Structure 1
Amino acid sequence: MGAESVWSVDPRTGEPRGDGPVAEVSGPAAVDAAVRAAHAALPALADRARRAALLRAAAERLHAVGPELVAAAEAETALGFPRLTGELARTVFQLRYFADLVDRAAEPGGFLDIRRDSADPGLTPPRPDLYRTKLPLGVVGVFAASNFPFAFSVPGGDTASALAAGCPVVVKAHPDHPESSARMAAALREAAREVGLPEGTIGLVHGFEAGPELVRHPLLAGVGFTGSARGGRALFDLAAARPRPIPFHGELGSLNPVLITEAALTVPGAGTAEASAGEAGTAAASTGAASAAEELARGLVGSFTLGTGQFCTKPGLVLVPAGAAGDAFEKAVADAAAQAPAGVLLDARMREAFLDGFARRAALADVQTVAPAASAPTPEAPLAVRPGVLSVPAPSALRGSHEALLEECFGPATVLVRYADPAEADAILSRLDGCLTATLHTPAADPEAPALLGALARFAGRVLFGGWPTGVAVADAMHHGGPYPASTSTATSVGATAVERWLRPVSFQTVPDALLPH
């Protein structure tokens, strides 16, 4: 019997695309071959100059075939040409960004974190000559995300940071965009050939069973994963259960709560860092209250519906004060959600899970539907859906039977939790699991702002004052992670320090300079 075929599917219709399959499912032999080829490339990647050249060449290759990649990804994900064009540009920038980090790796502040202690026999105990640096772990397995076919896929942040560290990569392609994955892997392998590195530096495997097979492979040294809590936890446990456990850096999903104070709803712009103490004194103006509520409502709806609600940083829970200000905000959210366009989820399975999850939450006691999530078929997109919003009093959300309200519902939906006083808001926050982000909207002059920010930082990896969390900058100070289950480690998957996941420190004692790794 021949290998099972991998097809590209149109998420708008659920029908296969193209004239035939785009790949074959990778069996154990194919996974083994990809990992062994990557392992054989380790010595060549020890040359940092060649590593940087690879990252820059990969950026150039992806940029050169950008229109083809965007067209393929749009057909497989329905995420839209503007969004995907921007995501590809981010991915190209990210590759160049890590190339620059490689150039500076051995400098003070570089990711090798080189430290030197000269010998001093007069100390008690005597100190030998010590040289500390960091070395690559080895072959890294990368699991591509469904919702970012470029930035968290074959050439994404896990791959770029692993290559920067000197680690070859084997990517497990996501089934929602196999054609895009194959095209990008080909571009990366061409870049490797161009700079004199083995093609096996970047491998690609397909199929559900290829994932566990990859994690179990004895030559694999680490894993980067972005996906569901269920799938990520299963692979995390598998990595820990190996005869020689390996690090598993997984991003498993997040609720990303938003806390809005009454003052933020009654002063235009009060939820931003630029709001002044003087503005807080005008909170009584009814027109200002309506404007503030409408402004925040538009921002919220724009954020939780971005990419059809499929961002890992989507705000899925919003704490809103009970009373007139909260009522105005809820109405404004309903109005904005009614104007939001329908969209297509990445595959039919996600669509059904979204509609079912929203319906189950809506059926809970004391839960009101502010905007109904529903199927919204069109001739071009029969699987499209409309966004939904639910509202519930804080005491009801704290019931054991209502736990689903405090869990992520993947897709364009959010839950408004109405709190009567700070104690109710704190009770909700105290029940939340680890999150990627948490956002505070209140005036800068709010005397409680420092304590509120501290409360949010207890369980979130990135805390925002004003604004919305859907958008993660590739920057030195960025942290994209959080306490479990947001991620399985304290590391970040975005920004300069993402490279640290794929390195291990080593001290060399009394080794002549000429023999030290540099």
Structure 2
Amino acid sequence: MITGKNFLGSELSAKGNKTYKTFNPQLNIENNSVFYEANEEEVNQAVQMASKAFQTYKDFSGNKRAHFLRLIGNEIEELGDELIKMYCTESGLPEGRALGERGRTIGQLNSFANLLEKGDWVDAVIDTANPERIPAPKEDIRRMNKPIGPVVVFGASNFPLAFSTAGGDTASALAAGCPVIVKSHPMHAGTSELVASAIISAAKKSNIPNGVFSHLNSSGFEVGQALVSHPLVKAVGFTGSYAGGKALFDLASKRPDPIPVFAEMGSVNPVIVLPSSLKAKSHLWAKAYANSIALGAGQFCTNPGLILALENENLNDFCSELSIQMNEIQASCMLHPNIEMKFSKDRNAMLKESHVKPLYQAPDQKNTNFARQTIATVKGQDFLHNKNLHHEVFGPFSMVVRCESEAVLISILKVLEGQLTGTILADEAELSSNHEIISLLSDKVGRIIFNSVPTGVEVCHAMVHGGPFPATTDGRFTSVGTSAIQRWVRPVCYQNWPNNLLPDELKNENPLGIYRVVNNSLTSSKI
């Protein structure tokens, strides 16, 4: 049952005067539930509770935190059809997408639980003492990662589950030992409240300190700004637009004690099409990329928004087939009228740019909030000299850039900004002979792909979902995969510390049985 209230730890609260509702984009009507925006008092209380809970939660064993994460997954599963129906009502996305995203959310929680149970993630390093060393004795030095403190997580508009309330940011921060305050996304506040109730239930059942998780509603900027500015908040996780992420980053940087903001802010995800790929598989790639561009109404941060193709005899056939395949795909409902309006505005602006021509435009949509799928095309030299064409159009839009030569393609790669992904379509022989293209692309992206599509981010240990600015605010980290936990920790060094007072991860006897680097060798043995 939706209350519309905020969770201050396990306590429901509605002290603010400002309310709002979510929206059903399929029916083009407001939903019934009323949500109470958190006020300044509630923001402060949530952060104070998180800071107090941190003093206990940070020292919980990995196994205890893993049990908590698994319970969250179980509680989300127990929400059943109520969660799925709310998700669809607030997002316009189909039931299949909701079920898949719920599974991914639970899978992420279990993945971090597995990581905690194994224990090696703390990166324990031990250099034992050598009092006989000449000219100076060597002291005992030991290091491991420790949690940094309360984390604020902003829910994402395009993933109501997997990148929101119990998504990767929350799961990784809780795994690290950091309390989390979620600022729910106003487009799916009901979905967020249901998931928040599952987290609170799991916290109670596993005796987690009250305040380790709180959930605040907001339809504007004030609550988010207050959270990022609060002196007891130690880090921020954000998935969304460049404008939103950069604003939070700037705000956090201007604090008396600046804190990290790990913001994923979008990408055009360039795809390099080399001649061999069109000679052998033009139809296959046209169909694959039409489906990738249109997937989820193009509302993926890994949507292939830029196709860089070398001019060759098969390129016209590829473009024609891409248009045919796009025409076979039914238009989809976007997440909200505001997102559809922004897509239409940005799409039209692109088509009005000098030398840009439409390659495919879906007919005007009879259904409100449905996107008009579009492929545009432009010559390489014109793209190179027009920075307006380098920007993301969030939705089912892609630009085919016809590069007159390899030199033009290389020049484009040199001026492109940081991206989440970059893809190369080619055969292995052609790939082997294009080292410069591969090198330039790898410098610009967090994930470089060969003969596939960028949409679809596997949740695994090796995944990198990040990239150089402006794709993210810190290209050294990922928001997907188990190494996402590294955002919420810092290294702490113990020098000449009594063995019995060291954390278990650093004790001589290695009671947890984890792998550690001891005197430059990786081992799980005792010292």
Tell whether the structures are fold-level matches, with TM greater than 0.5. Answer: yes
For the 8 Å contact 1:374–1:385, the answer to whether it is kept is no
Which aligned pairs between 1:398-413 and structure 2 lie closer than 5 A? 398-399=384-385, 402-413=386-397
Aligned to 2:448: 463
Q: Of 411, 416, 427, which aligns to 1:443?
A: 427
Aligned to 1:426: 410
Bigger mean CA offset, 62-71 vs 369-378: 369-378
Q: Secondary structure at the match of 1:324?
A: coil
Distance 1:307 1:226 in 2: 17
Q: Secondary structure at the match of 1:305?
A: helix
Distance 1:353 1:373 in 2: 17
Aligned to 2:323: 334
Aligned to 1:350: 339
Aligned to 2:87: 73
Bigger mean CA offset, 238-247 vs 119-128: 119-128
Q: Of 178, 185, 192, which aligns to 1:174?
A: 185
For the 8 Å contact 1:25–1:206, the answer to whether it is kept is yes
**Does 1:9 find its partner at 2:23?**
yes
C-alpha change, 1:199 and 1:301, in structure 2 (3 Å) is farther
Distance 2:269 2:358 in 1: 20
Deviation readout 1:319-372 (Å, 9 max, x if unpaired): 122243110011011111111111111111111111111111111222110112
Distance 1:201 1:467 in 2: 40
Distance 1:265 1:174 in 2: 42
C-alpha change, 1:125 and 1:407, in structure 2 (3 Å) is farther
Q: Of 164, 176, 186, which aligns to 1:165?
A: 176
> How many angstroms does 1:373 deviate by?
5.3
Distance 1:246 1:417 in 2: 39
Distance 1:374 1:367 in 2: 19
Aligned to 2:76: 62
Distance 1:99 1:6 in 2: 36
Distance 1:74 1:186 in 2: 18
For the 8 Å contact 1:154–1:173, the answer to whether it is kept is yes
Distance 2:97 2:400 in 1: 27
C-alpha change, 1:2 and 1:175, in structure 2 (3 Å) is closer
- What letter matches 1:476 in structure 2? H
Distance 2:354 2:456 in 1: 34
Aligned to 1:104: 118
Distance 1:450 1:68 in 2: 52
TM-score, normalised via structure 2 length: 0.89
> How many angstroms does 1:37 deviate by?
1.6
Aligned to 2:42: 30
**Does 1:311 find its partner at 2:300?**
yes
Distance 2:483 2:145 in 1: 13
Aligned to 1:510: 496
> For structure 1, which runs of at least 5 residues remain unmatched after alignment?
268-291
> How many angstroms does 1:2 deviate by?
5.6
Aligned to 1:195: 206
Q: Secondary structure at the match of 2:116?
A: helix
Q: Of 197, 204, 211, which aligns to 2:215?
A: 204
Distance 1:89 1:485 in 2: 30
**Does 1:481 find its partner at 2:445?**
no
Aligned to 1:370: 359
> How many angstroms does 1:159 deviate by?
0.4
For the 8 Å contact 2:410–2:437, the answer to whether it is kept is no
TM-score, normalised via structure 1 length: 0.91
- What letter matches 2:123 in structure 1? D
Aligned to 1:387: 373
Distance 1:68 1:199 in 2: 26
Distance 1:200 1:376 in 2: 47
> How many angstroms does 1:374 deviate by?
5.8
> How many angstroms does 1:203 deviate by?
0.9
For the 8 Å contact 2:371–2:395, the answer to whether it is kept is no
For the 8 Å contact 2:16–2:39, the answer to whether it is kept is no
> For structure 2, which runs of at least 5 residues remain unmatched after alignment?
1-14, 505-527
Q: Secondary structure at the match of 2:243?
A: helix
Aligned to 1:122: 132
C-alpha change, 1:95 and 1:2, in structure 2 (3 Å) is closer
- What letter matches 2:207 in structure 1? G
Distance 1:60 1:448 in 2: 50
C-alpha change, 1:374 and 1:245, in structure 2 (3 Å) is farther
For the 8 Å contact 2:275–2:312, the answer to whether it is kept is no
Distance 1:200 1:332 in 2: 55
Q: Secondary structure at the match of 2:122?
A: coil
Bigger mean CA offset, 345-354 vs 145-154: 345-354
Distance 2:369 2:174 in 1: 38
Distance 1:127 1:206 in 2: 54
Deviation readout 1:121-143 (Å, 9 max, x if unpaired): 23344221112111100000001
> How many angstroms does 1:375 deviate by?
4.3
For the 8 Å contact 1:258–1:319, the answer to whether it is kept is yes
Aligned to 1:472: 457
> How many angstroms does 1:17 deviate by?
0.7
Q: Secondary structure at the match of 1:231?
A: helix
> How many angstroms does 1:192 deviate by?
0.4
Deviation readout 1:245-269 (Å, 9 max, x if unpaired): 11111111111000001111001xx
Distance 2:252 2:282 in 1: 47
Which aligned pairs between 1:265-284 and structure 2 lie closer than 5 A? 265-267=278-280
- What letter matches 1:139 in structure 2? P
- Ranges of 4+ aligned residues in structure 1 off by more than 3 Å: none
Distance 1:25 1:146 in 2: 17
Bigger mean CA offset, 57-66 vs 310-319: 57-66
Aligned to 2:253: 240
C-alpha change, 1:121 and 1:374, in structure 2 (3 Å) is farther
Q: Of 242, 261, 266, which aligns to 1:229?
A: 242
- What letter matches 2:191 in structure 1? S
> How many angstroms does 1:32 deviate by?
0.9
> How many angstroms does 1:312 deviate by?
0.5
For the 8 Å contact 2:16–2:36, the answer to whether it is kept is no
Aligned to 2:512: none
> How many angstroms does 1:466 deviate by?
0.7
Q: Percent identity?
A: 36
**Does 1:217 find its partner at 2:201?**
no
Aligned to 2:521: none
> How many angstroms does 1:117 deviate by?
1.4
Distance 1:6 1:192 in 2: 28
